[in-house]
Amino acid sequence: MFARPNSETACGMFTLPHILSLIACLMLVGLALYLSRKFDERKIKLTTKIMACVFTVWEIAKIIFKFAIDDAKYLDHWMPLYFCSLFICALWMCAYGGGRIYKLGESFVIGGCIIGGFAFLVVPATSLMDYPVYHFLSIHSMLFHSSMLYMGILYIWRLKLSLDLSAFKNYSIFVGFFGAVSIILNLMLDQNFMILTRPVNIPIEFLNVIANNVPWLYTIGVLILYIVIPFFTVEGILFIIKKQTLVRWFYEMSILWLSRKQGY
């Protein structure tokens, strides 16, 4: 469970252990949402505080483990400065922040966590590529990203939040700030924070071609994707859901009107 990287057969991507763990995580998210179906704002706030503390402690444990196995010589191997690790910062901002600070954190939870969490569960490009599925870091990654998915849905569902222009502005500022910090550190220290220097275990060859030949285009392109894709994908899903609800309402009203018209 605490073996060094590549000392045991890694879980890999789209293998049976990965698929089974993916199904288990999605079922866990579904169960958590079912148990949270009556949560009000106070309970969601408490849940956010608990998760902020739990995942901060767990992230510290992860960093200690990285140092223990001598995998900390590169900052980007242990410093939590990646798209999904921004979830921890967003949790603290939502749990204890107010005003604009809260809104910035909230925008990431609703705009980035659903797609970010789900994307990793489907394409686990980091821990599961180096460790077996039962390893500490694999379990950490799967539960961490499952929690991102859960919190994103919970906030939109129970707090009835919408991904409007204001939310997009806050989300862009939040992701853009950490993106800018990552780019500066990557240039100064030759790191790969937020995977803005080169792709990691991503089975899309043209990304590697762009990163090797036009690195600035890769960096800017990925940062734009971070800002645009997660937010507007969730907005599109919500639009489809609302449209189906509206169509269903018109259908039911039409049936009711016809029934009355015909005297049923």
- Nearest-angstrom CA–CA distance, 19 and 155: 27
Task: Give the predicted TM-score (pTM) of the model.
Answer: 0.89
Q: Flag whether 127 is in a domain.
A: yes
Domain that holds residue 109: 16-261
How many domains does the chain divide into?
A: 1
Q: Flag whether 6 is in a domain.
A: no
For residue 203 the two structure tokens come to 């089975």
> What pLDDT is attached to residue 76?
81
Half-sphere exposure of 231 (CA within 13 A, CB side): 23
Q: Flag whether 1 is in a domain.
A: no
Q: Contact at 8 Å (CB) between 129 and 12?
A: yes
Lowest-confidence segment of 101-105, 158-162, 224-228, 260-264 by average pLDDT: 260-264
pLDDT band with cut points at 50, 70 and 90 for residue 264: very low
Q: Flag whether 156 is in a domain.
A: yes
Please report, rounded to a whole number, the percentage of residues in the chain having pLDDT higher than 70. 89
Q: Flag whether 20 is in a domain.
A: yes
Q: Flag whether 5 is in a domain.
A: no
88 residue type, one letter: I
Mean pLDDT of 239-264: 66
73 φ, ψ to 5°?
-70, -25
Q: Flag whether 97 is in a domain.
A: yes
Q: Flag whether 67 is in a domain.
A: yes
> Average pLDDT of the chain?
88
147-197 per-position pLDDT tens digit: 999 999 999 999 988 899 999 999 999 999 999 999 999 999 999 999 999
Place of tokens 């999605």: 26
